[in-house]
Structure 1
Amino acid sequence: MSMKKDEEQNLGSLIKTLLRTRSLSMRKLSMLTSIDTTTISRIANNKQKAKPSHLQLFAHHLGIPLVTLIQAAGYNVELQEKNSPSDLSISIDTIQEILVSSNHLDSQFNLDQIHHELAKYEQFALTKEGEHKIIEEFERKVDQVSGAGPFINELNNMYARYCAENISSKERTILGSVLLYFILSTDIIPDYVFPFGYLDDCLAVQIGLDRLSKLDNKHP
């Protein structure tokens, strides 16, 4: 994944602007992020490529959407349509591309692992035990991750939809499998790997949304 010179300059200029508007020095940002001041300076002056882990920390401590920094860094990000029901701003393909290009995940990674985990939870989601697990533990798990992440709003929406009475068994199966994945599944991708703290949960949500979209298209 290549980065053009003007895109690098956009990232450096953006970081400098954010530091200025937030009255932060590079030294202070270094203290907040545990990124060496020299590294921050080199990134801000377009002398060093920012790693995804850098972008995540910058986004958190500078109060800016992660996707904005990823775009400024020159990564190929596909934005959702404005009227899209999803607030997940990065496509599954792009997430995998960034992971591989950043040497955080080998090229043999595929979504089959996550699809397999979701399939395990589909029937469980329709049982009383599965329903009880979702109702009792979903909000607790959200609190555990501090309600952070671009996928949390979608999970909350999916939870509300799962709890609704007027949904089909197929919808409930899809929604429940994603919610149970979030609650129960062991991370397939380590949390520290990519700017999303719970990346595989994010992917599971996107898979669920894609399936629901196809289901809605079949039954307008």
Structure 2
Amino acid sequence: MSEESKNNNLGLMLKELLKNRSLSMRKLSQLTDIDTATISRIINGKRKANPEHLQKFAECLKVPMSDLFIAAGYPIEQNQEMDQSDIHTSIDSIQNFLESSNLYDKTFSIVSVEQELAKYKQYTQTEEGKETILNKFEEKLQKVGSIGPFISNLKEMYEKFRLNKGTAVELALIGSALIYFILPVDVIPDYIFPVGYLDDAIAVKLVLNLLTRTDA
């Protein structure tokens, strides 16, 4: 499929979404803080939308990011092909993609994920942290769609957290993975496809490993 055709697929989808929501391009510009001329070029297939544009469109128009990324021609199917069960393989895949794509200029490491999880582990024990999980988890699921096999793990974690099934230590660990998933800007921003959710999958795997140790 040509680049122009891919851009046009996105343009047609955006036109339909705007029509269904009775929104003008000018209003979409105000809501997303993206210049009206830029939106017009994207819709008319004269400019390729970057991942940050798509994230803002998805949030404003309340559609799964995966739908817009597919329409824009981004290869999100690679996200399914990477093996989240092997953390080291996944880390290599992430770093290789980031270096070759020029979408993100920071180095990814497992330490950075562990540091975020440790921070969120404390946050999840506060009332604000608990409310964030209970009020925002389902909303984030709808935005994401069903990207990644780790989603089923997150759903199980959420039910345990919601029903308070587990020790204080276990619930804090589970909460850290849920917060990591809910917040859009973690170690790798969610809009960096196809690896934007792979670090979330690694976070889930790390927490599952820790939970196994607490059960031992």
TM-score, normalised via structure 1 length: 0.58
Displacement of 1:164 in angstroms is: 1.7
Q: Structure 2 regions of 5+ residues with no counterpart? A: 81-89, 145-150
Q: Which structure would you say has the larger RCO, counting Cα contacts within 8 Å and 6 or more residues apart?
A: 2
Q: 2:113–2:203: 8 Å Cα contact kept in structure 1?
A: no
**What is the TM-score with the length of structure 2 in the denominator?**
0.59
- Confirm whether residue 134 of structure 1 aligns to residue 122 of structure 2: no
Whole-Å separation in 2 of the counterparts to 1:38 and 1:209: 40
Aligned to 2:201: 206
Q: Which residue pairs with 1:58 in the alignment?
A: 57
Query: What is the match of residue 43 of structure 2?
Result: 44
User: Residue 140 of structure 2: SS of its match in structure 1?
Assistant: coil
Identity %: 34
CA distance in 2, matches of 1:98, 1:42: 27
Q: Give the count of matched residue pairs.
A: 183
Distance 2:140 2:24 in 1: 26
Residues 64-213 of structure 1 aligned to structure 2 (within 5 Å): 64-78=63-77, 97=97, 101=101, 103=103, 105-106=104-105, 108-115=107-114, 117-118=116-117, 134=125, 136=127, 138-142=129-133, 148-150=139-141, 157-162=156-161, 163-165=164-166, 176-180=172-176, 195=191, 205-210=200-205, 212=208
Please provide the CA RMSD for this pair: 4.8
C-alpha offsets along residues 95-122 of structure 1, whole Å, 9 cap, x if unaligned? 994797364x22632344214554x58x
1:56 maps to amino acid: Q
The aligned counterpart of 1:87 is none
- Give 1:78 deviation, angstroms: 2.9
SS of the aligned residue for 1:67 comes to: helix
Q: CA deviation at 1:210?
A: 3.8
**CA spacing shift, 1:135–1:193, aligned 2, 3 Å:** closer
Cα deviation, residue 5, structure 1: 3.3
